[in-house]
Amino acid sequence: MRVEKIKQSWLKLDLSERLSKSKFRMRFQLTDADRRYISDKGMDTIREHAAEIVRKRLAPAEPANDGEQTPMRGAPKGHPVFLARHATATCCRGCLEKWHGIEKERALSDDEQRYVVDIIMRWISRQIDN
């Protein structure tokens, strides 16, 4: 019961604040190649890519290779969304449960998928603005 109370209080903190306390999450930054890719494609296309990646790689109840299928590199050999997923703890179902309180072993709802895409896009936008 005590662990659940700690988890609930942790989740009440602002996500940005929680992520900023993680050295692992904070090390992810867009590269110049990522910025060029985003500029060339446009934010609407990047959002479409993020939605597709989330739908295929995160939304199923038991994603294939969960926790091992999100590359840690962006453009040109990867995608900026992959970096954003690590930076925002949306890279696997375990991180989604730990950091966002979305339980594993069930498919994500459409609203939950939109939530994840919004978090990813917010991180990308902040990176672009800095």
Report pLDDT for 4: 53
> 95 and 89 in contact (C-beta within 8 Å)?
yes
Angle, alpha carbons 31-119-58 (nearest 5°): 95
Cα angle 98, 85, 109 (rounded to 5 degrees) comes to 65
CA distance 49 to 40: 14
Nearest to residue 124, comparing CAs of 68, 95, 82? 82
Q: What is the pLDDT of residue 18?
A: 86
Q: What DSSP character marks residue 87?
A: H
pLDDT digits (tens, 9 = 90+) for 2-25: 445 545 555 566 888 888 889 999
Run of H or E residues at 67: none
Over residues 45-98, the pLDDT tens digits come to 999 999 999 999 999 999 888 777 667 766 667 799 999 999 999 999 999 999
Question: Amino acid letter at 70?
Answer: T
What is the identity of the amino acid at 39? Answer: S
The yes-or-no verdict on residue 125 having pLDDT over 80 is yes
**CA-based nearest residue to 85, from 49, 45, 61:** 49
| pLDDT value of residue 3 | 43
Which single residue is written with the structure tokens 């990047």? 46
Which amino acid does the sequence have at 45?
A: T
| pLDDT computed for residue 87 by the predictor | 95
pLDDT, position 130: 79
The pLDDT assigned to 12 comes to 61
Q: Please, which pLDDT band fits residue 1 given cuts at 50, 70 and 90? A: very low
The pTM score is 0.87
